[in-house]
Structure 1
Amino acid sequence: MSGMVEKRGLGIWLTHIGLIVGIAIICFPIYMAFVASTVTQPEIARPPMPLIPGPHLIENYTAALTRGVNSPVLLMLFNSSVMALGITIGKIAISIISAYAIVYFRFPFRMAFFWMIFLTLMLPVEVRIVPTYEVVAGFGMLNSYTGLILPLVASATATFLFRQFFLTVPDELIEAARVDGAGPVRFFLDILLPMSRTNIAALFVILFIYGWNQYLWPLLITTKPEMNTIVMGIKQMFPSGDDIADWPVIMATTLLAMLPPVAVVIFMQGLFVKGLVESEK
């Protein structure tokens, strides 16, 4: 018995050492980016690069937030937040309503419509980008938040996930709601929506990061610097030709661009675990 305990204890230590090494490998580049964002340009250009943060943190981050390169980073962060939240909320709202209609309403060709939605998984933005751009331009939505959000607002994956979850809801619950006089809207709002909070929390994280990391579509439909997203801004900061890059400002911008997705993951992780615990009660 003691040998088993010792072996188990050794296994735990080895597991933790492996985790610490893995985290160190992943976090070291992020730490180096942070160090680069706190020193001056000559210190980065002159090898070896420093491994200890410098005294210019406030100066570099202030320059990034207020000046940037083509537009202030604070404005680009706002643009990316609006786009990511719009895409996330729109995808979840449309998907959950679509899945509700497909599962609980009997109408002609409902499964055909579902498979048509599902088949759009094979049509990413890159495949339909030319006709989508033509439609957006025709409606005058270039250089607008609506143009950034609307073409990306449908999600076959989320519709499929909500449909599969709704199929697991017991028929007895539906009958009980019907006996209590709950109509379709009340059944959806009072019963299905609270039961779906775990799925919504998980999808929110995935879809927010998807919307935040969009590059090709915003690059195509925005021509004004004030409509740039943070991913576009980072790419535009890199030097072209004989230009000299302001690496401290670039590194400060990259770290600032990481903060909103990290905050969403941390915040929604708590809701996700809370939803799991409550569902067991």
Structure 2
Amino acid sequence: MDGSLATPAPVRDDALLRATRRRRLASRLLAHAALLLGVAIVAFPIWMTLVGSTHDAGTIGRGDVPLLPGSHAAENYATAWNEGGGRTRTTPASVMLWNSLLMAVLIAVGKITISILSAYAVVFFRFPGRMIAFWAIFITLMLPVEVRIIPTFQVIVDLNLGNSWTGLVVPLIASATATLLFRQFFLTIPDEFVEAAKMDGAGPLRFLRDVVLPLSLTNIAALFVILFIYGWNQYLWPLLIINDRSMETIVVGLSKMIGRGDSQNDWNTIMATAVLALLPPVLVVALMQRWFVRGLTETEK
């Protein structure tokens, strides 16, 4: 032995470590840059709509919309809220927002109620044709509203339900998707819960109220967000079934504000109405975001 000390770790290991860190940092920066670019692409039209709602009609009509807000915001939003927009002054945004809000809530609550009851019957009851009923519901996933809109419209006309909340909401409250999701969730409820409920003398309705519904709250909240936005964005069915301007929804009203051909549009009030139409679904998503994420990811009972 020559008594020499052990040599230190090679310098190239430190260089390799630094190179690895630089690659990770570069990869992270690239990912964040891509995400920021995606956000900018999505947010830019919304920002331009918001900016356009604060300028006068002449500025927008010249195609000279600046990137910063103007000084006509209060005037434009007051006009949209109280009088409506467009050349013909359509229904005020306040009325259309209330109609859309009521329609979306009724559709969401109706879909959730019917889906819970149908899924509960399919999972916890044993009756002849149970699976046939489930598959009949499941098959309707391939039949969206647009496919069955002609026979549905004929039924509503025959029942004289045009220009009514019943005719507007009832054809849209059946949901095979929500039924399927609730069925899959109910199948994960342990059998011990059912046996314990029977030993306590609980009937089907009590078991549904005291056991199934409390366990389903997060799923109900998540579905409410999805179904509320679905109802809010409905265009074709309200356009067909509603002729009364007092029942006009915001999505249909926005399309009617925009003139055809060479007509001059009041883009400032149209954009103000569009911004108002964005607020309710954004608020629902923002306020229920936590429940929405838990409902989609939570699996423990």
Root-mean-square deviation (CA, aligned residues, Å) is 1.9
Match of 1:177 in 2: 197
Equivalent residues of 2:225, 2:292 under 8 A apart: no
Partner of 2:147: helix, strand, or coil? coil
Equivalent residues of 1:82, 1:145 under 8 A apart: no
Alignment CA distance shift 1:239-1:151 (3 Å): same
1:26 is aligned with what amino acid?
V
Equivalent residues of 2:57, 2:266 under 8 A apart: yes
The range that moved more, 68-77 or 196-205, is 196-205
Match of 1:121 in 2: 141
Report how far residue 191 of structure 1 moved. Answer: 1.3
The separation in 1 between residues aligned to 2:297 and 2:172, in whole angstroms, is 33
Matches within 5 A, 1:114-263: 114-263=134-283
- Residues 20-55 of structure 1: per-residue CA shift (max 9 Å, x gap): 221111101110111110001111122432111100
1:210 is aligned with what amino acid?
Y
The range that moved more, 48-57 or 59-68, is 48-57
Match of 1:40 in 2: 56
Alignment CA distance shift 1:246-1:116 (3 Å): same
Report how far residue 198 of structure 1 moved. Answer: 2.0
Partner of 1:256: helix, strand, or coil? helix
Partner of 1:261: helix, strand, or coil? helix
2:33 to 17, 41, 52: 17
Match of 1:56 in 2: 72
The separation in 1 between residues aligned to 2:63 and 2:203, in whole angstroms, is 70
TM-score normalised by length of structure 2: 0.87
Question: What runs of 5+ residues in structure 1 fail to find an aligned partner?
Answer: none
Partner of 1:143: helix, strand, or coil? coil
Match of 2:6 in 1: none
Report how far residue 3 of structure 1 moved. Answer: 5.0
The separation in 1 between residues aligned to 2:162 and 2:295, in whole angstroms, is 39
Report how far residue 267 of structure 1 moved. Answer: 1.5
Equivalent residues of 1:239, 1:245 under 8 A apart: yes
- Residues 109-151 of structure 1: per-residue CA shift (max 9 Å, x gap): 0110111111112222222222212222233321111211001
Match of 1:77 in 2: 97
Report how far residue 176 of structure 1 moved. Answer: 2.0
Matches within 5 A, 1:98-109: 98-109=118-129
Equivalent residues of 2:52, 2:268 under 8 A apart: yes
Q: Say how many residue pairs are matched.
A: 281
- Residues 204-225 of structure 1: per-residue CA shift (max 9 Å, x gap): 1111111111111111111111
1:272 is aligned with what amino acid?
F
Report how far residue 182 of structure 1 moved. Answer: 2.2
Question: What runs of 5+ residues in structure 2 fail to find an aligned partner?
Answer: 1-16
Alignment CA distance shift 1:171-1:229 (3 Å): same
The range that moved more, 43-52 or 204-213, is 43-52
The separation in 1 between residues aligned to 2:109 and 2:19, in whole angstroms, is 54
Q: Among all aligned residue pairs of Structure 1 and Structure 2, give the percentage whose two residues are the same amino acid.
A: 57
2:79 is aligned with what amino acid?
A
Report how far residue 276 of structure 1 moved. Answer: 7.7
Partner of 2:132: helix, strand, or coil? helix
Report how far residue 14 of structure 1 moved. Answer: 2.8
